[in-house]
Structure 1
Amino acid sequence: MTRRLTLALAALLAPMLALAAPPGPYRADYEVLRNGSVLGRAEVELARDGDAWTLTSHTRGTEGLAALAGADIRERSTLRWRDGRPETTGYRYEQKTAFNTRKRSLEVDAAKGQIVSRDRKDSRTLTWTPGVLDRQLVALALAQDLAAGKREVEYQVAERRAVEPQRYRLAGTESVQVPDGRIDAARVERIREGDSGRTTTIWLDPARDYLPVRTVQREKDGETIEMRLVGVEPAG
C-alpha cells in the first residue's frame, strides 16, 4: 500500500518537478584567463523588471595586450520564460578595441516565425522555433534543466548564420577551486559531432541555482579561454 501511494505521488509530482522556478536576479564577477594567465574581468547580471528579464555581460581587458588594446565587450539578451526555460526575445553584441568596433544582433519576431540576424553589413533571416536561445542564454538554460533533474539536453541556438542544435551532458560532480572558494559543482560538457578538437566544459554550483562558477573553452591548437567566479550577490 505504501509503495503504491509513493508511486502515485511521484506520478502527480513529476510535471511540477520538471519545471524549475526561474532563478533570482543576481550580479556575478568573473576573472577571464587566456592560457592560464589573467586577461580581464567580466561582470554578469540577471535582472528582472516585472515580466521583462535581461541577461547582460560586460568584459574588459585589464592585463597585457587586452588592456593595451582597450578590449571591451558587451552582450545583452532579453528573454522570457516558456515552460520553465528561458527563450530569447532579442540579443545585442558589441566589441570595441582601439582598432575597431564590431556589432552583432538578433531581432526576434515570434509572430512572424523569424529571427533577423545582423553582423556588420551581413543580414539574414533565420527560422524561429519555440524555446530558441542566443549563445549567452545557454548557461541559464542549463541551470534550469539541471535543477529539474535532467542529465542530457539539446537546445536550438541562434547563431550568426543559422539556428543550430547544441547538446550537453552532465558528466558528474567535481570539486573546483575558483577565487570565490572551493565548490562542489556539476560538470557539464558540450557534445560535439566528429573530431573537431574543440571542447567546452562548464561547472555550475547546485547550492546557488546552478550558477556557472567556471567555464573552459579549449581550441584544437590547445589555446584556452577560461572564466572563474570571483563573487556573486543578489540583485534587486
Structure 2
Amino acid sequence: MFRISLRTPLILLASLFFLTTPLHADVSVFKPFTASYELDWDGPISVSGDTIRQLKKSSDDSWTFESKANSMFASIFEKSHFQWNNKALSPIHYTFKRSVFGKKRNAEISFDWENNRVTNEVDDKPWQMDVTPGVQDKISYQMLLQQELAKGETSFTYQVADGGILKEYKFQVDGQEVIEAPIGIYKTIRVKRVREANSPRQTYIWFAPELNYQIIKLKQIEKKDKAYTLLLKELNSN
C-alpha cells in the first residue's frame, strides 16, 4: 500500500555514554538478512513506498545482494552477485531495472576477473572496459562499506563501474547520533558521501552497530526542494 503524507520530524536523542563509548567491533556483516524500509520522497508532493534489501548466500559460497524500491509512480531493482573471501569483495554480475511512469531502463554488467574486463549491456547495446582488482558495482560497495565500518575504518574510497566509466565514490564518518525509526531507537554511526563542494546533492547514511551495522536510515537530498529518506521498519536474519 502506498500513501501520500508529510513526515513529522524525528526526535533525535543523545547521551554522555553514547558520545564517549566506541561503537565499532570486529564483526562480519556478511550474514544473510532481509531488511524492510519505509521510503518517503519529499518534493512538490510527498510520496511514500517501500524498499527491501536482502543478502543471500548461495550453495557455491557466493553471495547475492538485492535492493527493491517501489512507490506509486516508480520502481527500481538492483542485484549484485559477488564473491567474498574475508579480504576482498569481487562482483560477478550486476543487474539494474528501473521503471518510472512506464518508461523502462535495464542494464546488465558482467565482471571477468581472469581478464580484468567488464561487459556492460545497457538496453541491448553492449560495451567493454578494463578494470583492476577491487572495482565494485553500483551496490556491492555498500556491503564493503558496512564491513569496513564494522572494523573501525572512518574513511572509504571505492572505484565503481558506473555508466561506462570508473567513478570514485568517497565516504567518511560524520559523527554519532541516536536515531528513532519504526524498528526502534538505536545508537548509530553517521556516514556522509564526500562530493564536490559545489554539488547540490547530499547523502547521509546511519549504521546501527547493534543491528550488525545494518543501515537504519538513509537520506539523500537531490535539490533544495527534493529529497528521499529510508527508515528501517523490520529486520530478519535468513
Any residues of structure 2 matched to 1:92-111 within 5 Å, and which?
A: 92-97=95-100, 99-111=102-114
Say whether the 8 Å CA contact 1:134–1:158 is kept in structure 2: yes
> 1:25 aligned to 2:28?
no
Matched residue type, 1:46: L
Q: Verify the 8 A CA contact 2:33 2:237 in the aligned structure 1.
A: yes
> 2:19 maps to what in 1?
none
From 57, 71, 94, the equivalent of 2:67 is 57
What fraction of aligned residue pairs are identical, expressed as a percent? 26
Q: Structure 2 matches for 1:63-142, cutoff 5 A?
A: 67=72, 69=73, 71-97=74-100, 99-142=102-145
Give the distance between the partners of 1:178 and 1:20, measured in 2 at CA.
Answer: 23
Choose the corresponding residue for 1:168, options 166, 171, 193.
Answer: 171
**How far apart, CA to CA, are the structure 2 residues paired with 1:118 and 1:52?**
22
Equivalent-residue separation in structure 2 for 1:32 and 1:87 (angstroms): 29
Which ranges of 4 or more aligned residues in structure 1 deviate by more than 6 Å?
A: none
Q: Look up the match of 1:210.
A: 213
Please give the secondary structure, in 2, of the residue aligned with 1:132. coil
How does the TM-score come out when normalised to structure 1? 0.82
Map Cα deviations across residues 62-93 of structure 1 (whole Å, 9 max, x no partner). Answer: xxxxx2x4x33221110111443433111001
Confirm or deny: 8 A CA contact 2:62 2:84 kept in the other structure. no
Deviations along 1:108-150, one digit per CA (max 9) or x if unpaired, are 1111111112222443322222122112123211110011111
- Indicate conservation of the 8 Å contact 1:119/1:160, yes or no: no
The higher-RCO structure (CA 8 Å, 6+ apart) is 2
Distance 1:18 1:32 in 2: 29
What are the superposed Cα offsets for residues 171-224 of structure 1, whole Å, 9 maximum, x if unpaired? Answer: 121111111111111100111123112111100111122111111111134310
Paired with 2:159 and 2:26, the residues of 1 have a C-alpha distance of 19
Q: In the alignment, is residue 229 of structure 1 matched against residue 232 of structure 2? A: yes
State which of 28, 35, 42 in structure 1 corresponds to 2:42. 35
Structure 1 contact 20–145 (Cα < 8 Å) conserved = no
Superposition RMSD in Å? 2.1
Structure 2: give runs of 5+ residues left out of the alignment: 1-23
| TM-score of the two chains, using structure 2 as the length reference | 0.82
Determine whether 1:187 maps to 2:187: no
Separation in structure 1 between the aligned mates of residue 121 and residue 140 of structure 2, nearest angstrom: 18
Q: Matched residues in 2 for 1:97 and 1:188: separation?
A: 29
Superimposed CA distance per residue, residues 31-88 of structure 1 (whole angstroms, 9 cap, x where no aligned partner) = 1111183421011110002312100122222xxxxx2x4x332211101114434331
Question: Cα 1:48–1:220, aligned 2, differ >3 Å: closer, same or farther?
Answer: same
The one-letter code of the counterpart of 1:56 is: E
Structure-1 separation of matches of 2:65 and 2:122: 20
Helix, strand or coil at the partner of 2:139:
helix
Inter-partner Cα distance in structure 2 for 1:220 and 1:126: 32
The code of the aligned residue for 1:29 comes to S
Quote the Cα distance in structure 2 between the aligned partners of 1:106 and 1:214: 28
Aligned residues: 212
The AA in structure 2 aligned to 1:48 is K
